[in-house]
Amino acid sequence: MTVLDPHRTRPTGRHPSPVLAPLRSARTRGYVMCRPTEFSVEYAINPWMDPSRPVDRSRAMRQWEGLVETYRSLGHVVEVVDPLPGQPDMVFAANGALVVGDVAYGSQFRFPERAAEAAAVATWLRDRGVDVTPASHPAEGEGDFLVLGHVVLAGTGFRTSLAAHVEAATVIDRPFVTLELVDPAFYHLDVALGVLDDGRGAAAADIAYYPGAFSAHSRRTLRELFPDALLVSRDEALTFGLNLVSDGLHVVLPQEATALAARLRQRGYDPVTVELDEFRKSGGSVKCCTMEHHA
């Protein structure tokens, strides 16, 4: 079904004519996730974390299982990693590595509280035939590396270093585009920018992002690369709506992101909302819980 997007019009005389939104299509994906059996907020390494706010672990488990079931109901493959004891943030599997095909660029966490996760994820990947190159510089996996068909968008400013961008590009055979984050509330790229379509199908690559999360230079880069991107307000971004996972048609995002979900429908996507607010206590949501094994 073709969808009209009233936000995208082309002027023709006095009255603008609607532009047809692309016909979206889903592609089966492979996701890696980690059970939240160790999940809690025991320290504060981002502005969202407050150890005085208790985590309801049983509720977190129900929400996480709901996300897994959502992916599987959409036809995707989910593999599950068990967390290391005493690693409460390992549930945020996206940070564990950047995986494309049979190679991966491992992680080196900025904060020592999460350091043990990197080796555990690398071992799990190697056991499944993936050639993992350990990071020599601070790098936090898909938290700061978002993969499109023709390019990898690479965040820096808080967690992942510029040197890691250069090193990762020697492992992953795609150009890397550096984007500087400047707002501490958006400490990882995946909370400031979401990939809606990676451009590997019939439709062009498509993203949504919050401009205020980026430096002036990076905003200019994004405008030049993605002139038709969906721009999101700070209020929308603070719902963690950009911490989304898309298969090219279905966009899984937190249920609080109602305004963004409505705009995605107008753009031809099928938003699928999930309850995941327990994980916001640690500064994460849908994408943070999901590492994609990119083809």
- 34 among known catalytic residues: no
Nearest to 242 by CA among 209, 271, 270, 272: 209
| Locus of tokens 């020697």 | 170
Among the listed residues 34, 76, 165, 188, the single catalytic one is 188
Options 76, 288, 289, 293, the catalytic residue:
288
Backbone angles phi, psi at 131, to 5 degrees: -85, 105
Buried b (16+ CB within 10 A) or exposed e, 193-222: bbbbbbbebebebbbbbbbbbbeeebbebb
Cβ-contact 247, 62 below 8 angstroms: no
Collapsing DSSP states into helix, strand and coil, what is residue 253? strand
d(CA 93, CA 107): 11
Active site residue 289: no
Active site residues per annotation: 188, 288
